[in-house]
Amino acid sequence: MARTRPPPGAAGASGSRAAILWAMKVALVQHDVVWEDAETTRAQVGPLIERGAAAGAEVVVLPEMFAVGFSMNTGRIAEPEPGPTAAWLADIAASRGVALIAGVPARVGDRFENRLLVVDAAGRIAARYAKIHPFTFAEEDAHYAPGREAVCCRDTWDTCCIRGTVPCVPPERPSTHHNKGAAHVILWKFLQQQDIGCIQRQR
């Protein structure tokens, strides 16, 4: 896909950031989950990521808790980092040369977080975002500790900011992220098992 991309931190004639937009090809993956069986589910998802990469996607987006389902059984499914799912994401990202955005339940000390990981095309974890608003109707808040803030990172897409959203809880205003230097905003939609991440790009 042909596009024009400014170098990181490029500025226009007035000294402000150059107002140049470019295209990004994104693959969204929706798959059947083998409940609380990360190894089996990863084996099924791998070929879907490869299909997206082969089609020219720069980023492949996977669902929330993609490998185990939206489970509250934290003692069984949560992984320390680096855990097997994070390591698997890093390996497949590096081998296919594609960035990945994926949800993984994480064990952090004596607590658990519903996390989103951004893995760059070299297989490095570029950002970790903990879901700020656990889904109370499913009693997620009783099992997963809330995150505290949106997360910004620099990567293939210059500076981007990550923010989760659930029903009836609007995300922060885009200007909040832009004040942190974000060129793009990734809104990760936390709903039900069948929902996939959504990306909103703004300047």
Contact predicate 21/8, CB 8 Å: no
Give the sheet arrangement for strand 99-108, strand by strand: 26-28, 59-61, 99-108, 111-119, 125-130
143, pLDDT greater than 70: yes
CATH 3.60.110.10 fits 26-148, yes or no: yes
Count other Cβ atoms within 10 Å, centred on residue 59: 26
Task: Reduce the DSSP state of residue 119 to 3 states and report it.
Answer: strand
Task: Reduce the DSSP state of residue 166 to 3 states and report it.
Answer: strand
Q: How far apart are CA 32 and CA 41, in angstroms?
A: 8
Q: pLDDT tens across 152-171, in order?
A: 766 554 445 555 444 333 44
What local confidence, expressed as pLDDT, does residue 24 receive?
80
Domain boundaries, the chain: 26-148
Its pTM stands at: 0.73
Structure tokens at 106: 């994480």
Compare 23 and 190 and report the one with higher pLDDT. 23
